[in-house]
Amino acid sequence: MNWNFRKQSHLLLLILILDGAILGAAAGGTYAGVSGAPGASGDSGQEAGWETHEIPAACGGIRQADSGGGQIAESVGKKYVALTFDDGPHSVYTEQLLDGLKVRGVPATFFLMGQNIEGKEALVLRMRDEGHLIGNHSYRHLPMTRERAAEVCDSIEMTEQMIEQITGKRPEYLRPPYGDWNEELECKMNLTTVFWTVDSLDWKLKNTPQIVSRVLKGTRNGDIILMHDIYDTSVKAALQIVDQLQEQGYEFVTVDELLID
Ligand code: NI
């Protein structure tokens, strides 16, 4: 499936480039929220003092490209979407989410915060063993462009090591808190930064029907959905979203499967 999807994605991208629809995103090397050069600004994420993930500026162009991609992909019969969960693991809600995803046979991507890992190693192992992709969300939830580069790199590296000690594998994907990132923060770590194209605003809504409705309205083929597995309402919403998108013919993949080489 992976190889086929990559092949299909290349075809999609080519068509979109020819169509002119993706020129902006392609110039920045971005597609489906995965980017080496995000347009995130440092002033996002301060509203509630906790989780206020704003959509990075780079996502504006991606959204346009995705709506074209959806139409083309539907013609070949496959629609893909990636669920991503930040800020965990959480001892109660992450476990409920893993149970629900397992029953449904759905893989997701978890961007773990280093400070939340200790004592929840079993959950991290479950993620690995049940086919989920584990990424890095830094040690603490700090806006990275406002920190000293050395501290940002330490925060990322510490989390890399914590996850590697548990799973035996260094994460290859990084989601910067608040999407706050710039090219000077590469840290020589060879991590791929992953943003999102659908923001569930689950941290703010804390209302399962509202989260479900917002995500279902906003989701197209190739999207990356941002959620947080640290709230009861988010976990319930995520499982309802899975059920409804599966009914609509979507297949769930981890974010690495949406990457274009
Ligand atoms: Ni976060």
Q: pLDDT (tens digit, 9 = 90+) per residue, 119-146?
A: 999 999 999 999 999 999 999 998 988 8
**243 catalytic residue (yes or no):** no
Q: Give the burial string for 166-184 (b: 16+ CB within 10 Å, else e).
A: bbeeebbbbbbbbbbbbee
Higher pLDDT, 4 or 243: 243
* Residues surrounding ion ligand 1 at CB below 5 Å: 86-87, 177
- 74 closest CA partner among 255, 213, 220: 220
From 66, 86, 87, 229, active-site residue: 86
Rounded mean pLDDT, 181-209: 90
β-pair partners for 135: 111
- Cβ 94 vs Cβ 123: under 8 Å: yes
- Global pTM? 0.74
From 53, 90, 137, 228, active-site residue: 228
Report the number of secondary-structure helices (H) and strands (E) in the chain. Answer: 9, 8
**228 catalytic residue (yes or no):** yes
Q: What is the pLDDT of residue 43?
A: 32
Give the highest mean pLDDT range of 52-56, 75-79, 113-117.
113-117
Question: Is residue 237 scored above 80 in pLDDT?
Answer: yes
Q: What is the pLDDT of residue 189?
A: 76
Question: Is residue 5 scored above 70 in pLDDT?
Answer: no
180 CA to middle of ligand 1, Å? 10
88 CA to middle of ligand 1, Å? 9
Question: Is residue 97 scored above 80 in pLDDT?
Answer: yes
